[in-house]
């Protein structure tokens, strides 16, 4: 049962349709904001739990900082402020009063407060109080928080005025240590995206004009969506001593000399859910990788006669208890027994829309035959993708079944990524002709009109104007660079190339 919008017909409407039909989120009455509904928030919780464990394994600790930041903190770092100024929400009054029957702002604040767009400024202030000696370093902290950026063209999960994220902030005694931290955390993000979200990414460095405001270097992971556009899935920033100087984060080094600390910051957000949708969803609805599915197995009772209910429910409960002893990926399996008073066929299609990895329908006929009707959400072997499976076989193979689904999802997405990175475009004319086309749906490994181009770049400062003219961006300078660039030309300028980059349209 396909959705009303298909990917190849209207990809943006298909995306919105997926979010609505999977009951993941909706637009809020607060303009530009979203309500994340239980299924969508459950996916975020799973991403958060997997990533939080990885962050703690690298020695970081969680904490929390205020969401209101004095304006003067941003004024200390002009480059940083300029990068976020147009997106900042500002609190100027502390209370309301009634005037002519209307509530109006009353008491002006002595200093305006910025609603957190990112926390470098407020966290650097705390670091300046915590760090006095090299013995206090490194400081390795992380926070899970909400962020406000005044987005003018909101889109659920991808761009909203308020969103949820994780942001890590660290301080170090040397530039080398800080840069190693920056790259380490980028690879943590890559690991989570590929092994939990089943979303392959390209790790690399951002060009100068795409860096985070105030950073020395910004590193990124870029994913390819089914329409060929890029999605920045995570960033990690080496900030050098820039923020340390503005916030006076100083320490006495081993030579008993004062020195500014070297800091980093890195983060991912609920935008990852948008990436999961556009990587895996199909024309039946959402498809959730098992590692981040709120429920990995959904059990749906099929009760056609009231007198069968007790026997069917007892059979299902025994299956549920047996499954709870299983641990795919070394984690306790997550099961939903859907006992709602609704038609079983409606519940089946609801969970199909939501993208639950394994959906089971169990009725009296299954009880009598010691069977289970199973649908693996990403395997469509029949029109409804249903299989009749022996009960014991299903229970005993559930760990392998779920782990294989995760693997298959990643392999399919990786194959699509690799098949749609063009490396055969070598001249300016070919390059311009390629991006003159419209984006086209490229799922199932089919090469569309526009996806990624990997090719030469001269690092010319005039490149930014040419990119804007073509409505594309340099997404990343991949870490895996050729040993020899001799003879290669820049696809933008025709000048000798000094590196290879990923060119693409993006979200």
Q: How many CB atoms lie within 10 A of CB 187?
A: 16
127 forms beta bridges with: none
pTM, full prediction = 0.95
Burial of 259 by CB count in 10 Å (0-12 exposed, 13-18 middle, 19+ buried)? Answer: middle
CA distance 291 to 331: 9
Residue 496 DSSP symbol = B
- pLDDT of 443 reads 65
Q: What was the pLDDT predicted at 326?
A: 96
* CA distances (Å), origin 32, targets 26, 334, 408, 452: 11, 33, 36, 30
Distance separating alpha carbons of residues 78 and 246, to the nearest angstrom? 10
Given a contact cutoff of 8 angstroms between Cβ atoms, the answer to whether 64 and 143 are in contact is yes
Around Cβ 366, how many Cβ atoms within 10 Å?
A: 21
pLDDT of residue 461: 83
Q: Tokens 């038609």 belong to which residue?
A: 343
Peptide bond before 351: cis, by omega within 30 degrees of 0?
A: no
Which residues does 269 contact at the CB level (< 8 Å), separation at least 6? 147, 163, 164, 165, 166
Q: What are the DSSP E strand ranges found in 1-159?
A: 25-27, 34-36, 61-62, 68-70, 89-93, 96-99, 102-105, 108-115, 139-148
139 in Cβ contact with 127 (< 8 Å)? yes
Which domains can be identified in the chain, with CATH numbers? 11-280 (3.30.930.10), 290-408 (3.40.50.800), 421-504 (3.30.110.30)
CA-to-CA distance for 261 and 130, rounded, in angstroms?
Answer: 12
Mean pLDDT by 10 residues, the chain (507 residues): 83 96 97 97 98 98 97 81 84 90 89 96 96 98 97 95 98 98 98 98 96 94 96 98 95 98 98 98 95 98 96 98 97 97 95 97 97 86 73 97 95 94 95 90 71 96 89 97 94 95 97
In 3D space, the residue among 93, 279, 293, 133 whose CA is nearest the CA of residue 200 turns out to be 279
Residue 9 contacts residue 227 (beta carbons within 8 Å): no
Distance (Å) of CA 427 to CA 356, 457, 488: 45, 12, 10
For residue 299, the SS3 value is: strand
Show the CA angle centred on residue 334, arms to residues 282 and 357, nearest 5°.
20
Spatial distance between the Cα atoms of 373 and 335, rounded to a whole number of angstroms:
16
| DSSP code of residue 158 | T
Pairing status of strand 96-99 against strand 217-224: unpaired
Q: Where are the alpha helices (DSSP H) in 420-476?
A: 428-435, 463-470
Take residue 168 and report the two structure tokens written for it: 């890590």
Which value, to the nearest 10 degrees, does the dihedral of the CA atoms of residues 380, 38, 165, 110 take? 150
């Amino acid at each position: 049962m396909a959705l009303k919008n298909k990917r190849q017909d209207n990809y943006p409407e298909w995306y919105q349709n997926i979010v609505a039909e999977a009951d993941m989120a909706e637009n809020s009455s607060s303009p530009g904001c979203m309500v994340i509904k239980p299924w969508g928030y459950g996916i975020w919780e799973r991403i958060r739990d997997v990533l939080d464990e990885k962050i703690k394994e690298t020695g970081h600790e969680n904490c929390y900082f205020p969401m209101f930041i004095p304006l003067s903190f941003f004024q200390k770092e002009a480059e940083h402020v300029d990068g976020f100024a147009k997106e900042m929400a500002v609190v100027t009054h502390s209370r309301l009063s009634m005037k002519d029957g209307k509530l109006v702002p009353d008491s002006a604040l002595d200093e305006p407060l910025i609603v957190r767009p990112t926390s470098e400024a407020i966290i650097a202030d705390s670091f300046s109080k915590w760090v006095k000696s090299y013995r206090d370093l490194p400081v390795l902290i992380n926070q899970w928080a909400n962020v406000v950026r005044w987005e003018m063209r909101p889109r659920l999960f991808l761009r909203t005025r308020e969103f949820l994220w994780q942001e890590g902030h660290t301080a170090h005694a040397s530039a080398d240590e800080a840069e190693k931290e920056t790259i380490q955390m980028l690879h943590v993000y890559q690991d989570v995206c590929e092994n939990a979200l089943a979303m392959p990414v390209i790790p690399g460095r951002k060009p100068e004009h795409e860096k985070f405001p105030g950073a020395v270097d910004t590193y990124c992971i870029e994913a390819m969506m089914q329409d060929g556009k890029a999605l920045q899935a995570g960033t990690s920033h080496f900030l050098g001593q820039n923020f340390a100087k503005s916030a006076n984060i100083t320490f006495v080094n081993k030579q008993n000399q004062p020195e500014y600390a070297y800091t980093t910051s890195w983060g991912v957000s609920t935008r990852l859910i948008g990436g999961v949708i556009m990587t895996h969803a199909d024309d039946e609805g959402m498809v959730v990788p098992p590692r981040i599915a709120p429920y990995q197995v959904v059990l749906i009772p099929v009760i056609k006669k009231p007198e069968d209910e007790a026997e069917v429910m007892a059979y299902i409960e025994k299956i549920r208890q047996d499954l709870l002893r299983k641990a795919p990926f070394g984690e306790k399996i997550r099961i939903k027994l859907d006992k709602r008073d609704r038609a079983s066929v409606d519940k089946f299609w609801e969970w199909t829309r939501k993208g639950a990895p394994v959906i089971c329908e169990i009725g009296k006929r299954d009880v009598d035959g010691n069977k289970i009707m199973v649908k693996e959400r990403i395997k469509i072997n029949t029109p409804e993708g249903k299989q009749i499976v022996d009960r014991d076989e299903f229970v005993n193979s559930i760990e392998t079944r779920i782990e294989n689904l995760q693997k298959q999802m990643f392999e399919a997405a990786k194959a699509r990524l690799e098949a749609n990175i063009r490396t055969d475009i070598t001249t300016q004319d070919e390059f311009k002709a390629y991006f003159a086309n419209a984006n086209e749906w490229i799922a199932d490994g089919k090469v569309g009109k526009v996806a990624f181009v990997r090719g030469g770049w001269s690092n010319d400062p005039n490149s930014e104007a040419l990119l804007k003219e073509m409505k594309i961006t340099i997404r990343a300078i991949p870490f895996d660079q050729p040993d020899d660039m001799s003879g290669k030309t820049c696809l933008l300028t025709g000048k000798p190339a000094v590196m290879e980059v990923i060119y693409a349209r993006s979200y």
